[in-house]
Copies of this chain bind each other. A is one copy, B any other.
Amino acid sequence: MKQRIAISGAGLVGSLLSIYLARRGYSVTVFERRGDMRKKGAEGGRSINLALSNRGLRALEEVGLAGEIKKVAIPMLGRMMHDLQGNLTFQAYGKEGQFINSVSRSALNTVLMNAAEQLGVNFQFEKRITGVDLEKTTLSVQDSKPEAFDLIIGADGAFSVVRGALQITDRFNFSQDYIDHGYKELQVPPGLGGAFQLEQHALHIWPRESYMMIALPNPDGSFTCTLFFPFEGPASFQKLNTNTEVVTFFEQMFPDATRLMPTLLEDFNTNPTSSLVTVRCYPWVKNKTLLIGDAAHAIVPFFGQGMNAGFEDCRILNQLLHYHRDNWDHVLPEFQQARKKNADAIAQLALDNFIEMRDLVADADFLLRKKIEAKLHELYPSKWIPLYSMVTFYDEMSYAHAYDIGQKQKRIMDEVMKTPNLESTWLHLNLEEIVSKLESS
């Protein structure tokens, strides 16, 4: 008889995971507290589009879905920085052929759910889980009688109900850390005939030191802008209370974007101000219950890796199932041990990248540093890979390894940046010499 697995959460990770498990022959039921987004449309409070990069694509590829997704994805080749005067600076993400993809959350989720249903996955919508028994591996849905499964997987996001059950067991380490910034989504509509009113193949950034706005393109020619802004303080959501204050602020700080936002006030007043949390916990496994994706490691969005990390979880879990011939007693402990350090690494990288995006990308020294790194990568393609590239494009390299190498490279670049007449000499730097000098010191 088929083993029965319950997944809590029909979001991106829960849906992809159900596909992996159905393909392995499990009987999979997915419980989702919201309605079917394919019928009702997406609910608010979650980002509209996402950056899909190599790790996520690879996990989709292994279940044969990368092609379908790529068709509706918009490649973003680099960052387009907008200064206060509306001047643009473009910075490529990688080498030729390396890019990230703007995808619609709802389109992606729809593809995944449809594919899962074709494999026999049973989606139960509007079913709120009200109890998880970790000893008996049972789930209660809306206070009905507990139902037993062979395995329960919590893919139910940053505020996971399944994690709630682990959280009250002894010796469960847990933290939730909010940053001081919240976010609000705003729209730039398509131009005449569906034209993109900003460069289509870029992720746009308006870096303003202590805060920023970004914009990602949508297939209909619109852009979804996200303002990342402090909740409190001199420049903050708290200070924008009247329509005049909102418009004045936008016209002053994002003049070029504001001209393209006819519904600015409506968006600002209607859309929620959401908070940003990092969740770390351990263990992820208790008996026959497992946490995965955001439920195990919610991160801030500034490296564009939240979904990609969750998809990678699914791929690695599948790999371990294959290796251990579906012996979960081996798979579960190995999975959490293998993934925890990577989850911690990308959580920290995501926090660090906020500073880079909102502040440093507008800094001349920083841009020079990036140029030098790109040059080093060109000269020593396998020995020096910029951190952003390792995380985004090198899916064979773990987040933890990328983090460690990134730290090392940062120390080297700190030294390099102290070189006198740096701008005129950096082209002649010898990487091997720098590295060996640094390692001997």
Interface residues of A (CB under 8 A from B): 170-178, 231, 275
Contacts and interface: CB of A to CB of B under 8 A. Distances in A.
A178 B174 CA distance: 9
Contacts of A275: 170-171
A174 B173 contact: no
A183 to B, nearest CB: 13
A176 B172 CA distance: 8
Contact of A173 (B171, B177, B231): B177
Nearest to A164: B168
A176 B178 CA distance: 15
Given A172-B176, A174-B174, 15 more contacts: A170-B178, A170-B275, A171-B178, A171-B231, A171-B275, A172-B178, A173-B175, A173-B176, A173-B177, A173-B178, A174-B175, A174-B176, A175-B175, A175-B176, A175-B177
A279 to B, nearest CB: 10
Q: How many copies of this chain does the complex contain?
A: 2
Contacts of A174: 174-176
Nearest to A180: B171
17 contacts: A170-B178, A170-B275, A171-B178, A171-B231, A171-B275, A172-B176, A172-B178, A173-B175, A173-B176, A173-B177, A173-B178, A174-B174, A174-B175, A174-B176, A175-B175, A175-B176, A175-B177
Contacts of A171: 178, 231, 275
Nearest to A175: B175
Nearest to A177: B173
A284 B40 CA distance: 39
A283 to B, nearest CB: 11
Contacts of A173: 175-178
Contacts of A175: 173-177
Nearest to A278: B173
Nearest to A277: B171
A192 B172 CA distance: 45
A149 to B, nearest CB: 26
A174 B278 CA distance: 11
A332 to B, nearest CB: 17
